[in-house]
Structure 1
Amino acid sequence: MASKESVLSAAKQLVNFINKSPSPYHAVDEVKKTLLKDGFVELKERDSWLNLIKPLKKYFVIRNQSAIIAFAVGGKFIPGNGFSIVGAHTDSPCPKVKPISKKTKNGFLMVGVECYGGGTWHTWFDRDLTVGGRVLVKNEGKIDHRLVHIQRPIMRIPNIAIHLQRDMNEKFSPNKETHLLPVLATAVQMELQGNSQSASTNVSESSSCEQGNTEFTNQSEKHHSVLVKLLCEQLKVKPEQLLDFDLCVADTHLAVIGGALEEFIFAPRLDNLLNAFCACEALVASCKGDSLKTEPNIRMISLFDNEEVGSTTAQGAQSTLQELIMRRLSAGGSQTAFEESIPKSYMLSADQAHAVHPNYSDKHETCHQPAFHKGIVMKINANQRYATTAITLSILREIAKIANVPLQDFVVRNDSPCGSTIGPIMSAKLGIQTIDVGGPQLSMHSIREMSCTSSVKQSIDLFQMFFQKFPEVSQLLNF
């Protein structure tokens, strides 16, 4: 067992990563900073990589600023050799600010939002909320990509009083279109402060899109001027410079280490920033020392966006992003070098798993109840909703023994639906042997989720050993 100090150290680093990542764009930026600090070099998809990729060198590629693939080239790598891959995703369910968000109801300035992914939406009520994401800004004739994170509570979705809805404890099913609108300010206070008009136009706050105002001089008019002002102040730009943005609504309550014995993580976006963080840390750690010198494979992490909505995007797992990068790295060998690499490759699809819930333990199959602190969960499904096979299980069990990381088996009940991951997508798309794994957690898809501190270090240790030992362990297969 790892020491409490090492477990807490890894968990605190994850907490710091989550608190800096209210959106996929921030998560990718944090990963990028870690990689640059460790000597990775950024490549552009649009550029030629001819004669650029060298053994023992480390690189990364970003698409849409929300997906990132990083890789370290083994000292013994030649085109046609395999890829050792850990895949995860950067997105989480949340409300997102609509393209035209300006709404006014009963004297309140409201923000129109669209539900992204399968969130547990009732948990977003009565929380202190803010926004974080990206803004495209016109700057001296160029279009800049800027990150923004308002780090104070500016919005709230208030619950209705139980006196006005007596059955709310028995049946609380808010309408996502009409009940999930955050309150931003009051019209009267805006007027008292002299902000009843937009900073850049003469459009009144009361002239929301609901009242027929669908013609806008610039993009900032589509949103309440108080929200635009907050964004502009942080970005140090004028409202007319705003071209567009993608803003996630986020809780302002920070991720923390919790529990009487400091054994839990209470945090937003554990699904799946935990595995995105651990994959990055493991790749960086695996390149320390001399193991990369004798490595025949390329060690790779693929952190995709849009898993929570099916992955069918240019930056999602269903795109050609990973395949195209693998093909480019296989160039220079035989005409079939890429195809030769596939059976030599292996992918860990890392996404959080359902720990057994003490108040709802009957929701788990009796022999498969993953618990906190008992290891990384291996997800298995006979209907192939998970990509795990007996072969990929056997390989990982051998690696886990070397890493001294415990593993747990998980299948869903026959009368229960099964979640989805990028595992089946990638294994079917590329033919790579794949296994679905993840740390155990509770409150999945809630605004605040719960995991155990030990799964962070266990994940890093398992992924790191996988990078360093997969080629060796794969040689044990005698068929």
Structure 2
Amino acid sequence: MRDELNQGLIDFLKASPTPFHATSNLALRLEAAGFQRLDERDTWHTEAGGQYYVTRNDSAIIAFKVGKRPLTEAGIRLVGAHTDSPCLRVKPNPELQRHGFFQLGVEIYGGALLAPWFDRDLSLAGRVTFRRDGKVESQLINFELPIAVIPNLAIHLNREANSGWAINKQTEMPPILAQVAGTEPVDFRALLANQLALEHSLNADAVLDYELSFYDTQPAAVIGLNSDFIAGARLDNLLSCYAGLQALLSAGDAETCVLVCTDHEEIGSSSACGADGPMLEQVLRRVIPQDQDFVRTIQRSLLVSADNAHGIHPNYPDKHDENHGPKLNAGPVIKINSNQRYATNSETAGFFRHLCLENEVPVQSFVVRSDMACGSTIGPITASQLGVRTVDIGLPTFAMHSIRELAGSHDLAHLVKVLSAFYSSPELP
């Protein structure tokens, strides 16, 4: 079971280099399991026992099973995660031709660790909007092949490289894609039109715009002397998206279960398809149209906000509170912050801990050091938007926001097990 889950995650990560691809792959897996796609522009007819999903902006997805128990009595079991990760996004007019090299200007998306992006085999993927036969269309593309690199400057020319070198996001991050002869400008949009033709057999009249991200072509892998770890890009937070999907697919038909994977968490979630937008509430209100029934249902519901936690690093143990250093392969982490950077309270934490104990899943706690700033998640945002009780949890990882992160190879199975139990739990606190 563990090895099968880990390989499934590795395959999912490889197929999902951008939030658009992650959403598309989640949708494909849901459809294969019999979920019906809903269009927000249409009238919906949902019924007990039905399985549905809806996407927005091609980068966020909400999937749900309508249970047979009345919602006002049973509530809803929600699991939340996010589809985006820090990366390098291509600028609108990105072409740079300097000293015989073709480069692309990039904007840093989210709080990326920049140093690991150097000397990697990079490819490019995302969504392209184009005109064909007088109509505007969009399509996902993925070059897949390593087409770019950001070479480090030799240490002979940068003696400060190992002693606190500050990376300039504007001048040092543009990837190199090719050598070019002469002064004839390279047309990046023409390259995208060619990729549309190669990948989808689409002949675009003109590429109008795009949202494209560079990514590392090295696939995720189980590594370590004893295969203790999973190394890969975008573990934050596609790992939680994948775990939530596996749990939802195995859920029974008694309870109403929801998986919500929103976009833009890494930049604050304030968008139409982010957790700080109206998407989740609008979807739930279409399932529960009566105001009083909606409030009654929400007050009987619980959200598990699943986002990665900081595992205690053996080289930097002083970065953790000495009593709250989560270990890899020691189970999911309950994340707590008195200043509401996490939405956990004693009741929701107690319920999640109870679920773990009941299902023989190890569980840990994380509190940031009192002299350090604390990150946040979609948990407090969703809790404040819906008024739903929430527990923030996640799997411990190293190198969060790096181009290659590290998690424990046993922990995915732990998370899927407890989320499956949550979706099937007949009683919520």
TM class by shorter chain equals over 0.9
- CA–CA separation in structure 2 for the residues paired with 1:118 and 1:252: 20
- Find the partner of 2:315 among 359, 369, 391: 359
Q: Partner of 2:285: helix, strand, or coil?
A: helix
Name 2:185's counterpart in structure 1. Answer: 205
Distance in 2 (alpha carbons) for counterparts of 1:64 and 1:77: 31
> Matched residue of 1:405: which SS?
coil
Work out whether 1:442 is the aligned partner of 2:398: yes
Q: Which residue is equivalent to 2:381?
A: 425
- Confirm or deny: 8 A CA contact 2:303 2:389 kept in the other structure: yes
Per-residue CA deviations over 1:62-107 (Å, capped at 9, x if unaligned) read 0000000000000123467521100000000000011111111111
Cα deviation 1:381-416 (Å, max 9, x = unaligned):
111110000010111112112222111010000111
Paired residue secondary structure (2:427): helix
Which of the residues 230, 239, 253 maps onto 2:218?
253
CA contact (8 A) 1:257 1:263 kept: yes
Secondary structure of 1:17's aligned partner:
helix
Counterpart for residue 327 of structure 2: 371
Which residue identity is paired with 2:51?
A: K
Where structure 1 has 5 or more consecutive residues not aligned to the other structure, the ranges are 1-5, 197-203, 207-220, 475-479
What displacement does 1:181 show? 0.5
Residues 224 and 473 of structure 1: CA distance in aligned 2, closer, same or farther (over 3 Å): closer
The higher radius of gyration belongs to 1
* Cα distance in 1 between the residues matched to 2:193 and 2:164: 37
Which one-letter code corresponds to 1:318 in the other structure?
Answer: D
- Residue 268 of structure 1 corresponds to 233
Instruction: Name the CA distance, whole Å, in 1 between partners of 2:99 and 2:9.
Output: 42
Match of 2:52 among 59, 68, 74: 59
Normalised to the residue count of structure 1, the TM-score between the two structures is: 0.87
For 2:267, the equivalent position in structure 1 comes to 309
Counterpart position of 1:457:
413
Q: Which amino acid aligns with 2:70?
A: F
Partner SS state of residue 286, structure 1: coil
SS of aligned partner of 1:97: strand
Query: Corresponding residue for 2:137?
Result: 144
Q: Does the 8 A contact of 2:129 with 2:209 survive in 1?
A: yes
Helix, strand or coil at the partner of 1:87: strand
1:226 Cα deviation from its structure 2 partner: 4.7
Query: What is the total number of aligned residue pairs between the two structures?
Result: 429
Out of 12, 31, 34, the position equivalent to 2:29 is 34
Match of 2:293 in 1: 337
Is the alpha carbon distance of 1:397 and 1:466 closer, same or farther for their aligned partners in structure 2, counting shifts above 3 Å?
Answer: same
Letter in 2 for 1:48: T
Tell me: CA distance 1:392–1:7, structure 2 relative to 1, closer, same or farther (3 Å): same
AA aligned to 1:156 is V
Letter in structure 2 aligned against 1:435: V
Q: Deviations over 1:232-273 (max 9, x none)?
A: 432333463322211110001111111111121110000000
Kindly report which structure 2 residues correspond to 1:63-142, keeping only aligned pairs within 5 A, or say none: 63-78=56-71, 81-142=74-135
Pairing 1:318–2:248 present: no
| Distance in structure 2 (CA, Å) of the matches to 1:69 and 1:77 | 20
Q: Deviations over 1:426-465 (max 9, x none)?
A: 1111111101000010010000011111111111111110
Structure-2 change in CA distance of 1:224 and 1:243 (3 Å): closer
Identity of aligned residues (%): 39
Q: Match for residue 18 of structure 1?
A: 13
Q: Matched residues in 2 for 1:41 and 1:337: separation?
A: 24
| 1:80–1:337 CA contact under 8 A, matched in 2 | no
Match of 2:286 in 1: 328
User: Contact (CA 8 Å) 2:130, 2:205: kept in 1 or not?
Assistant: no
- Which one of the candidate residues 286, 307, 313 is aligned to 2:251? 286
For structure 2, list consecutive stretches of 5 or more residues without a partner in the other structure: none
Q: Deviations over 1:154-211 (max 9, x none)?
A: 00111111111111110221100111010011112xx6xxxx7xxxxxxx317xxxxx
Task: Output the TM-score relative to the length of structure 2.
Answer: 0.96
Q: SS at 1:143's partner residue?
A: strand
CA–CA distance in structure 1, aligned partners of residues 428 and 72 of structure 2: 21
Taking a change above 3 Å as real, the CA distance of residues 224 and 138 of structure 1, as seen in their structure-2 partners, is closer
Paired letter, 2:391 = I
Q: Which amino acid aligns with 1:302?
A: V
C-alpha distance 178-391 of structure 1, shift in aligned 2 (>3 A): same
Alignment RMSD (CA, Å): 1.6
1:243 partnered with 2:208 = yes
For 2:216 and 2:317, locate their aligned partners in 1 and report how far apart those are by CA, in whole Å: 28
CA contact (8 A) 1:372 1:451 kept: yes
The 5-angstrom pairing of residues 211-250 of structure 1 reads: 221=187, 223=188, 225-226=190-191, 229-238=194-203, 240-250=205-215
Give the structure 2 partner of residue 349 of structure 1. 305
In 2, Cα distance between equivalents of 1:396 and 1:78 = 21
